[in-house]
């Protein structure tokens, strides 16, 4: 009887997981359809680094323009549906957590969403626009770019998405430090290896193969590493202070 109940509980978990996936996909599709009607405005924002330089973007295939709008709509729909996706993940995991764990997990979900959106926004406003302007002006007056919309939007999405993922790193380090799984000395001791890994990671996530774009991406990633070190150090000091207080209170009780 217990075995049957256990099998049913596993099936129920799989059913709940299926619901999470279905709701997440439906939410993305709905927001993607809504975003499609604003594709021209979204494209105007994404093309601003090029249009302000007086450059034009072309399409070479009959269906290229419509597919670009669909691709962009799905990307924007995913960003807009992230609160729903994270809420579904939260509702799936939260019943298995204790009361104090629920608070931290809820906080983790909220902050992770803000970090992801903040990473994408920073990638576009702080790095992408400056990088595009620099790279196009770097060509000089004798060379004229012939940019196609499909490659440009693919480049943009491929450039911005990793920023959203990488901006989760300080948050992950915070919770790892709370669990005492990482330390400030570990980050400080491996700083040189971190720089090497960051450069390699920047080369991987950068859609182009030029060294200049790689350097532009590496800078913010290294700042995130330093920020993560600072966060871990603050958490460590709080934990040490808490342990000292507990030790002092234990000593005072024994005396």
Q: What is the pLDDT of residues 60-111, one digit of tens each?
A: 888 898 999 999 999 999 988 988 888 888 777 777 767 766 777 777 778 8
- Measured in whole angstroms, the distance separating CA 122 from the mean position of its chain's CA atoms is 11
What mean pLDDT value characterizes the chain?
82
- Per the listing, tokens 């995991």 go with 93
- 3-class DSSP state of 199: helix
User: Which three-class secondary structure state does DSSP give residue 87?
Assistant: helix
How far is CA 171 from each of CA 101, 148, 184, 237, 250, rounded to the nearest angstrom?
16, 37, 15, 17, 33
Q: Which of 124, 161, 24 is nearest to 82 (CA)?
A: 24
Q: What is the pLDDT of residue 74?
A: 93
How many Cα neighbours within 13 Å face the side chain of 62? Answer: 0
Q: What is the pLDDT of residue 255?
A: 64
Neighbours of 157 (CB within 10 A): 17
pLDDT of 146 higher than 80: yes
- What is the mean predicted confidence (pLDDT) over 47-69? 87
According to the model, what pLDDT value does residue 179 have? 77
* pLDDT reported for residue 70: 93
Give 9's pLDDT tier (boundaries 50, 70, 90). low
Residue 255, Cα to own-chain centre: how many angstroms? 52
Q: What is the DSSP letter of 94?
A: G
In the prediction, which pLDDT does 101 show? 67
Residues 6+ away with beta carbon under 8 Å from 124: 46, 156, 160
Q: Are 171 and 224 in contact (CB under 8 A)?
A: no
Residue 18 has pLDDT above 90, yes or no: no
Q: Is residue 1 over pLDDT 80?
A: no
Round to whole Å and give the CA distance between 177 and 235.
6
When mean pLDDT is compared across 174-183, 185-194, 225-234, the lowest value belongs to 174-183
Confidence check: pLDDT of 116 > 80: yes
CA 203, chain centre distance (Å): 17
Mean pLDDT check: name the lowest of 2-6, 36-40, 170-174, 190-194. 2-6
pLDDT tops 50 at residue 163:
yes
């Amino acid at each position: 009887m217990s075995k049957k109940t256990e099998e049913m509980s596993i099936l129920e978990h799989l059913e709940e997981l299926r619901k999470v996936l279905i709701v997440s996909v439906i939410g993305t599709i709905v927001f993607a359809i809504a975003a499609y009607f604003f594709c021209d405005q979204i494209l105007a924002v994404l093309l601003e680094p090029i249009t302000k330089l007086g450059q034009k973007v072309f399409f070479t295939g009959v269906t290229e323009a419509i597919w670009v709008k669909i691709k962009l709509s799905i990307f924007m729909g995913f960003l807009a549906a992230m609160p729903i996706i994270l809420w579904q993940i939260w509702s799936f995991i939260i019943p298995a957590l204790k009361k104090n764990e629920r608070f931290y997990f809820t906080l983790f979900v909220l902050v992770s969403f803000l970090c992801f959106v903040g990473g994408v926004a920073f990638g576009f406003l702080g790095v992408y626009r400056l990088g595009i302007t620099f790279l196009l002006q770097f060509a000089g007056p004798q060379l004229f770019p012939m940019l196609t919309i499909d490659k440009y939007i693919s480049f943009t999405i491929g450039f911005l998405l990793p920023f959203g993922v990488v901006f989760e790193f300080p948050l992950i380090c915070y919770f790892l430090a709370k669990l005492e799984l990482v330390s400030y000395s570990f980050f400080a001791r491996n700083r040189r290896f971190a720089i090497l890994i960051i450069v390699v990671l920047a080369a991987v996530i950068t859609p182009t193969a030029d060294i200049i774009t790689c350097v532009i991406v590496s800078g913010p990633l290294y700042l995130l590493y330093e920020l993560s070190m600072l966060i871990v150090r603050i958490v460590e000091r709080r934990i040490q202070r808490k342990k000292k207080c507990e030790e002092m209170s234990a000593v005072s009780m024994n005396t």
